[in-house]
């Protein structure tokens, strides 16, 4: 049984990791940290875990040495800036690390600093692998430090990858209109995330080039295209708990039929069971991936305007954060990537 | 007191008209038709109306002659195809008509037939005025037949108008990513509109040039631009009851600052109080217009990609249908357009 | 134009007062206080107000003397404990006061102190009138200090009143199972009120005699019955923003038919248009009173078990707080109670 | 691999069975019937199943002989009345049957006929076992026909059982105030179940002795008490998809402390891991059981009024229908009851 630790248990990604590890056949939560709740049992803050594996873990103060002693792998579910320090300490202590923050995702420290803040652990960037399993499984298997992808980037990159790799769309004319459930805003007490501020309404935020997931998307899309990719990324807040749907507007480099693009996508992803290319005529929906690692993708050619419109849906918490983190840990320990992760979507 | 009739009371636009007329100081619902509920009192199908004006109207079978006898104006809240016949009959009977369907919105019958079905009352198209009050108030005042705009077109056209009129965006590179509340799907019994099929999920539909509001948007945008406008219109279904938010991606014809576009929009709409251009840095939200005629618009220049992103929010039922219909009726009877319509948004 | 002030603008009751006063024909918001937002315009914290009356009020620090100078009436939308002090100061400064907190609702200071905390302004209790307009309109007209009823008590008392007054139910065997929308939990930043903690779930809280609205309900029910009434009051949190529905289980003192109880209720409330006794066979629903002062009541005799089950629905924010406060202010200034308050319910 | 059939796939219980069987290690969906969708693949009506076990099942017309040939067990997810006929035919054909309808739940055919309709297969009632696994596991193991309990009865009976069995509450003074998610209303196209008729509202229905789950609750509670039990059962509709919470008001036969009742409940259920008695001070919540077989129960003694208030939460679709059906099938085939059913709750 692989012993897992969790730094930062009180957020939604920590909650989701607790859920996933409660039914994992080969990995068990053995340590979890929280400054505010140290001393409490995990099921006292998450009553849904009562009676399940992990429920009796007693929360401790963050302590890298102690975590390294108790754990084989540690998941970091803390804000960027904090994660880079803790991640480096744990790495040095010899424990495997999966970081759910943005701190090790951008290979170029200058880009990180342009969008986030000063990076104080730049020397660890080359050690980190970007943990999108469909793209980097081999590298993740060898890694001791995995940068778990962001939620919006996961949906966007998987949606765009086949088109960019095959060169069928213009790399400088991409608009991503993304919509996310409210777990994406985190579990901190904030008026803007209150039920009565989110329910029965809908709003954009950080549009027109202000969201920090932009460079992460551009980094991986550039790898796919083999040429610089610029995207206009525009997020919106949905009155749902889980789920991201990205509607991606691209321009075809030359005319292609619906059937041609459909065949290309189905072929590209045929060996990756978590990426489900939907049959022509069907469109993704966030509930169809709820609680799972699936990424549902549809391609729609708009003949009137010469565009390829890609729609892509994931569960932002599971695929976009904690489930993907466990997939990466599976790979790091030589397990099949899907171990403990083949949930059927909870619908409705 | 102006006597109003309503054909097709059981849908959401009929319900909303009942609500609005219940507090109108100069217009009263005196007749309403419904095949399935004829003989019932209005408040027996809409209990929220108990004790309010209109509650005691007894529903009758559709009958143009009878409606013309009892009413000064009739609102048509029936599907397209049906509306063109009833509208023509009522017009001939001398009563003023506001049609909430699509039947008289498209000036070119060929375009109508390409997107909808055969038009059997083409000769009435020249008599109809497109009832977007900010654009056509003078014409509506003289009209006896008003084609009430669609919900998506109202949000899209108002959002784009100032930019197109001022020629600052390319008319052939416009993408509208629109999201609508579920009242937009109507009140017919359909599995796809059930609570458990809509709540806690999000999905696109009819994307890539398939939605019939496309030609209506292009028609009015072409008027604004003075040149043919092509849009890629892509709708999504929101788990909310009321509200549309359109995120409109356009390309600037030449570089403009945020402040320049902001000033242009504020100036363009300064005499139209229902169009609220939001201060720079603020973005619209569907709840801020709930239950009202407001259209909230923000302009965001994306310097990285040379785009102007326009966000526009309305209440699809009130501004996008029944409230706008009453505004048009106000104009047709010489009342101030805002009579009985200055609701404050119901937030939260 | 009556000049109104508002202490504590950032909560949901303050927000709702802003909404209501924006369309009131004879009362205008002229001053509002907020420690955290002093210096800002009201529409910068409540963008839905842009362009409406009150939007340009600049928030100030709380200051009783200044408020008394600028206002004819002040609404207190601050927590209990704070309200008693501010209320007393404003009263002494000669301004009329409507207090939305619990501080002046309980006539017996000992009861207050048993359920809340020390009462430091007991001498003002006799000056206060309990502001349930259907029961105390005459007293409110003469009052300078009105204790605005709690939300749960408003629904419960109005539901029970006719039965207790007529002596048809046992006063010591009453169970109230109440369900409230989340605005009832306030607008403070708290994890337990986050969207993702409230949406798509349902939970009881403070059941089995722990909720502080219990003595308020018992106080007024005892007045109705003319004998001590004990209730078991049990609240639950609904994933909706507005609305309370109370299901009240009582035991008939002697057998009565459905028709007899129905007739008794209809007769009792026939002159109070905001209390709508529903026809036999119809049950209340929170949306039917949304945004209004209505209290919808149904009576259901359960012949199998000898119980009378009363269901009662209000909008907790409008009828249960700010709308009722404005109704009381109307009375205090000699206006018809319904002035500016005859909204039609916003459905759906 | 046990071969399972499903009659009536298009409802929510059929959908949930499809989900559960998709990850069951020893049971596989091999046949499913639907009149309206015969000929289609299962994942064409339930896209969430794409790529999962069962997705490629092609729906057939209902045909008992064919089902008996292909299956070891058949689940009936069809309305009462239909189920009794199909169930009897399948029973005679030698296949095991789990009936999710009410047709075989009531041991007394007269009671069935008083609440439902004529029972045309009375002779099968003695063959049927009431499939509440905590109470009847031994009988279910021997059964060929299992009557799967109703959703409300499951929550109510499990909540009341320990108290009735121990004789601490009065059997003739029980009120159940139950609240259910909207999947409980089924997946048929009906205006009253539309998103816009259920979202952001709350309503009672069939209160005061009108709901047909009443006799089922009374039947099993009478077994527990060893004396006739009468309940007043009163349901409400929640704007959530899944989940039932029952608040049960009972009167203690003699004074007991919170600790005494708590200890009694913990002891009674200590060997049944799906029944989670919550620690004192914690109350159940529907999300904590989402997607699982758990029944969370809290006991709260109200000293002021001498009542024991029991709160009980289940997932109406999983525990209250399809998950419980699979648990019963597990027992019928000699598998551990929890096989394939130990989901962790999906929170949030």
Q: Are residues B115 and B159 in the same domain?
A: no
Distance of alpha carbon B38 from its chain centroid, rounded? 27
Taking the Cβ of residue D241 and every Cβ of chain B, the question of whether any pair is shorter than 8 Å is answered with yes
Q: Are residues A240 and A293 in the same domain?
A: yes
Q: Which of C297, C299, C346, C298 is nearest to C318 (CA)?
A: C346
Averaged pLDDT for residues D17-39: 97
Interface of A with B in 289-318 (CB under 8 A): 290, 300-305, 307, 309, 311
Q: Are residues A170 and A288 in the same domain?
A: yes
Averaged pLDDT for residues A126-132: 98
Name the residue in chain A with its Cα closest to that of C239: A195
Contact D202 C179 (CB under 8 A): yes
Sequential DSSP letters for C72-85:
SEEEE-S-TTHHHH
Average pLDDT, chain D: 97
Could you tell me if residue D347 is inside a domain? no
Name the residue in chain D with its Cα closest to that of A342: D23
Taking the Cβ of residue C213 and every Cβ of chain D, the question of whether any pair is shorter than 8 Å is answered with no
Q: Are residues C234 and C100 in the same domain?
A: no
Could you tell me if residue C185 is inside a domain? yes
- Helix (H) / strand (E) element for A42: namely helix A42-45
Interface test with D, best of A340, A344, A345 (most D CBs within 10 A): A344
Domain count, chain B: 2
Nearest to A348 among D50, D183, D276 (CB): D183
Q: Are residues C51 and C109 in the same domain?
A: yes
Taking the Cβ of residue A269 and every Cβ of chain D, the question of whether any pair is shorter than 8 Å is answered with no
Name the residue in chain C with its Cα closest to that of B53: C344
Taking the Cβ of residue A197 and every Cβ of chain C, the question of whether any pair is shorter than 8 Å is answered with yes
Instruction: Enumerate the residues of chain B whose CB falls inside 8 A of the CB of residue C22.
Output: 344
Nearest to A191 among C182, C183, C189 (CB): C189
Contact A20 D200 (CB under 8 A): no
Q: Are residues C247 and C171 in the same domain?
A: yes
Burial of B127 (0-12, 13-18, 19+ CB in 10 A): middle
CATH code assigned at A280 = 3.30.360.10
Contact A307 B208 (CB under 8 A): yes
The per-residue pLDDT for A337 is 98
* Residue C48 contacts residue B347 (beta carbons within 8 Å): yes
The per-residue pLDDT for B159 is 98
Averaged pLDDT for residues D273-297: 98
Taking the Cβ of residue D23 and every Cβ of chain A, the question of whether any pair is shorter than 8 Å is answered with yes
Q: Are residues D231 and D158 in the same domain?
A: yes
The per-residue pLDDT for B133 is 98
Q: What distance in Å separates the CA atoms of residue B224 and residue B229, rounded to the nearest whole number?
A: 9
Note the pLDDT tens digit of each residue in B300-334.
999 999 999 999 999 999 999 999 999 999 999 99
CA distance to partner chain D, nearest, from residue B175 (Å): 28
Q: What distance in Å separates the CA atoms of residue C342 and residue C320, rounded to the nearest whole number?
A: 15
Tens-level pLDDT at each residue, chain C (348 residues) = 999 999 999 999 999 999 999 999 999 999 999 999 999 999 999 999 999 999 999 999 999 999 999 999 999 999 999 999 999 999 999 999 999 999 999 999 999 999 999 999 999 999 999 999 999 999 999 999 999 999 999 999 999 999 999 999 999 999 999 999 999 999 999 999 999 999 999 999 999 989 999 999 999 999 999 999 999 999 999 999 999 999 999 999 999 999 999 999 999 999 999 999 999 999 999 999 999 999 999 999 999 999 999 999 999 999 999 999 999 999 999 999 999 999 999 999
Q: Are residues C64 and C174 in the same domain?
A: no
Instruction: Enumerate the residues of chain A whose CB falls inside 8 A of the CB of residue D281.
Output: none
The per-residue pLDDT for C141 is 98
Contact D240 C302 (CB under 8 A): no
Q: What distance in Å separates the CA atoms of residue D122 and residue D104, rounded to the nearest whole number?
A: 9
Taking the Cβ of residue A242 and every Cβ of chain D, the question of whether any pair is shorter than 8 Å is answered with yes
Averaged pLDDT for residues A59-82: 96
Could you tell me if residue B344 is inside a domain? no
Nearest to A283 among B205, B245, B286 (CB): B205
Q: Are residues B28 and B95 in the same domain?
A: yes
Note the pLDDT tens digit of each residue in A250-304.
999 999 999 999 999 999 999 999 999 999 999 999 999 999 999 999 999 999 9
Instruction: Enumerate the residues of chain B whose CB falls inside 8 A of the CB of residue A204.
Output: 245, 247, 283-284, 311
The pair of structure tokens assigned to B329 is 């009726």
Taking the Cβ of residue B183 and every Cβ of chain D, the question of whether any pair is shorter than 8 Å is answered with yes
CATH code assigned at C10 = 3.40.50.720
Interface of C with B in 77-116 (CB under 8 A): none
Give catalytic residue positions of C. Answer: 151
Contact B346 C200 (CB under 8 A): no
* Residue A197 contacts residue A224 (beta carbons within 8 Å): no
Sequential DSSP letters for A132-151:
-HHHHHHHHHH-SEEEPPPH
Taking the Cβ of residue C273 and every Cβ of chain B, the question of whether any pair is shorter than 8 Å is answered with yes
Note the pLDDT tens digit of each residue in D141-162.
999 999 999 999 999 999 999 9
Contact A347 D48 (CB under 8 A): yes
Q: Are residues B114 and B169 in the same domain?
A: no
Could you tell me if residue D329 is inside a domain? no
Could you tell me if residue B190 is inside a domain? yes
Give catalytic residue positions of D. Answer: 151
Contact C194 A187 (CB under 8 A): yes
* Residue C326 contacts residue C27 (beta carbons within 8 Å): yes
Average pLDDT, chain B: 97
Query: For residue A9, is the peptide bond before it cis, meaning its omega torsion is within 30 degrees of 0?
Result: no
**Residue span of the structural domain in which D126 resides:** 2-130
Q: Are residues D169 and D311 in the same domain?
A: yes
Q: What distance in Å separates the CA atoms of residue A270 and residue A266, rounded to the nearest whole number?
A: 6
Nearest to C195 among A188, A189, A199 (CB): A199
Note the pLDDT tens digit of each residue in B253-302.
999 999 999 999 999 999 999 999 999 999 999 999 999 999 999 999 99
Task: Give C90's contacts (C-beta < 8 A, 6+ positions apart).
Answer: C64, C67, C68, C74, C76, C97
Categorize the per-residue pLDDT at A30 as very low, low, confident or very high, splitting at 50, 70 and 90. very high
What 3-state class would DSSP assign to D264?
A: helix
Taking the Cβ of residue A63 and every Cβ of chain B, the question of whether any pair is shorter than 8 Å is answered with no
Nearest to C301 among D201, D208, D241 (CB): D208
Nearest to C241 among A188, A199, A241 (CB): A199
Q: What distance in Å separates the CA atoms of residue B85 and residue A131, rounded to the nearest whole number?
A: 61
Q: Are residues C162 and C245 in the same domain?
A: yes
Could you tell me if residue B337 is inside a domain? no
The per-residue pLDDT for D78 is 94
Q: Going edge to edge, which strands form the sheet with C96-99?
A: C27-33, C2-7, C73-76, C96-99, C145-147, C128-130
Could you tell me if residue D230 is inside a domain? yes
Beta bridge partners of C174: C231
Give catalytic residue positions of B. Answer: 151
What's the farthest any 2 CA atoms get from each other in chain D? 62
Contact C47 B19 (CB under 8 A): no
Average pLDDT, chain A: 97
The per-residue pLDDT for A135 is 98
* Residue B41 contacts residue B64 (beta carbons within 8 Å): no
The per-residue pLDDT for C166 is 98
Q: Terminal CA-to-CA distance of chain C, rounded, Å?
A: 33
Could you tell me if residue D108 is inside a domain? yes
Q: Terminal CA-to-CA distance of chain D, rounded, Å?
A: 33
Categorize the per-residue pLDDT at B115 as very low, low, confident or very high, splitting at 50, 70 and 90. very high
Instruction: Enumerate the residues of chain A whose CB falls inside 8 A of the CB of residue B179.
Output: 179, 202, 236
The CB density around residue B195, as the number of other CB atoms within 10 Å, is 26
Contact C48 B288 (CB under 8 A): yes
């Amino acid at each position: 049984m692989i012993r897992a630790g969790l730094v930062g248990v009180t957020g939604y990604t920590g909650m989701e990791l607790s859920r996933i590890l409660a039914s994992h056949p080969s990995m068990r939560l053995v340590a979890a940290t929280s400054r505010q709740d140290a001393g409490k049992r995990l099921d006292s803050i998450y009553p849904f875990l009562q009676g399940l594996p992990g429920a009796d873990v007693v929360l401790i103060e963050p302590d890298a040495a102690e975590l390294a002693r108790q754990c084989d792998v540690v998941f970091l579910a803390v804000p960027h800036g904090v994660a880079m320090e803790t991640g480096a300490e744990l790495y040095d202590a010899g424990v495997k690390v999966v970081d759910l923050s943005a701190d090790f995702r951008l290979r170029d420290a200058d880009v990180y600093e342009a969008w986030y803040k000063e990076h104080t652990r730049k020397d660890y960037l080359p050690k980190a692998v970007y943990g999108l399993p469909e793209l980097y499984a081999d590298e993740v298997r060898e890694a001791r430090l995995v940068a778990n992808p962001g939620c919006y980037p996961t949906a966007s990159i998987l949606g765009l990858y086949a088109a960019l790799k095959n060169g069928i769309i213009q790399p400088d004319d991409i608009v991503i209109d993304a919509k996310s459930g409210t777990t994406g805003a985190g579990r901190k007490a904030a008026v803007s995330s209150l039920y009565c501020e989110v329910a029965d309404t809908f709003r954009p935020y950080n549009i027109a080039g202000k969201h920090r997931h932009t460079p992460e998307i551009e980094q991986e899309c550039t790898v796919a295209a083999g040429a610089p990719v610029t995207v206009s990324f525009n997020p919106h807040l949905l009155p749902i708990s889980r789920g991201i749907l990205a509607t991606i507007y691209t321009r075809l480099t030359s005319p292609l039929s619906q059937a041609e693009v459909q065949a290309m996508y189905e072929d590209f992803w045929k060996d990756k069971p978590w990426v489900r290319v939907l049959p022509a005529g069907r469109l993704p929906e966030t509930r169809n991936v709820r609680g799972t690692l699936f990424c549902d993708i549809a391609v729609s050619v708009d003949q009137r305007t010469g565009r390829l419109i890609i729609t892509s849906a994931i569960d932002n918490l599971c695929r976009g954060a904690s489930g993907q983190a466990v997939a990466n840990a599976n790979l790091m320990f030589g397990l099949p990537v899907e171990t403990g992760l083949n949930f059927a979507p909870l619908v409705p």
